[in-house]
A and B are shown apart, each in its own frame.
Chain A
Amino acid sequence: GAVVSQHPSRVICKSGTSVKIECRSLDFQATTMFWYRQFPKQSLMLMATSNEGSKATYEQGVEKDKFLINHASLTLSTLTVTSAHPEDSSFYICSARAGTLRGYTFGSGTRLTVV
């Protein structure tokens, strides 16, 4: 149980375009989902906390107008990278928790390359 599905797994886009990444909890409801960014050989950096039915909470230094988060239902959160630039190329990964006694379940991640 506690599966999180993330799509797409890989995306290559042109500079200036926008990319949407979806994160779905398949067998549980997630009122909160988390979006992370990971650079090669580095740790996961929390970007924002996505809250169902309300605005996301962004970490310091993360541009909310660039990384749009929508959590429209209890099973779906989306991250849209707007006007992407090469420096936005990274591994983006979402996570959610099925219960307080369980760990976080991560999606499989999205490797974004902006050319």
Chain B
Amino acid sequence: GQQVMQIPQYQHVQEGEDFTTYCNSSTTLSNIQWYKQRPGGHPVFLIQLVKSGEVKKQKRLTFQFGEAKKNSSLHITATQTTDVGTYFCAGLTGNQFYFGTGTSLTVIP
């Protein structure tokens, strides 16, 4: 069945350090979305990538969609305490979005 894996599962960084989470799908994705879920909260949409090799930036966040459209990454430059939360990718196959396993980010002040 469809699987979307993310690594790492957990990441602790010192404030100011960079952070990257990787998303890998067992099948080719039509597009990929990224969400952030704060502790105790609900997922909030960050961005959608559609094209092979696409790169998008949102301030300190950089999102990439792999050439084969089976993987994606989210990179945060110079993390801040406000970046704490779990980051999920969600890949579209057919009409269904499948969420990745998530990466929980802890930022140590």
Contact = CB atoms under 8 A, between A and B. Distances in A.
B102 A43 contact: yes
Given A41-B104, A43-B100, A107 B48 contact: no
Contacts of A107: 42
B33 A109 contact: no
A46 B91 CA distance: 13
Interface residues of A, number: 20
Main secondary structure of the interface of A (DSSP, over half): strand
Interface string A75-115: 00000000000000000010100000111111111000000
B42 A46 contact: no
Contact of B42 (A41, A43, A101, A106): A106
Contacts of B98: 46
Interface residues of B, number: 20
Nearest to B45: A103
A44 interface: yes
B99 A43 contact: yes
Nearest to A111: B40
A104 B47 CA distance: 10
Given A43-B100, A43-B101, A46-B96, A104 B45 contact: yes
Contact of B99 (A44, A49, A101, A105): A44
A103 B100 contact: no
Which among B42, B48, B104 has the greatest number of chain A C-beta atoms within 10 A?
B42
Nearest to A108: B42
A44 B88 contact: yes
B19 interface: no
A74 to B, nearest CB: 18
Of listed B41, B46, B97, B101, residue having the most chain A CB within 10 A: B97
Contacts of B88: 43-44
A104 B98 CA distance: 12
Given A49-B96, A104-B90, A107-B42, 6 more contacts: A46-B96, A93-B42, A101-B48, A102-B45, A106-B43, A109-B42
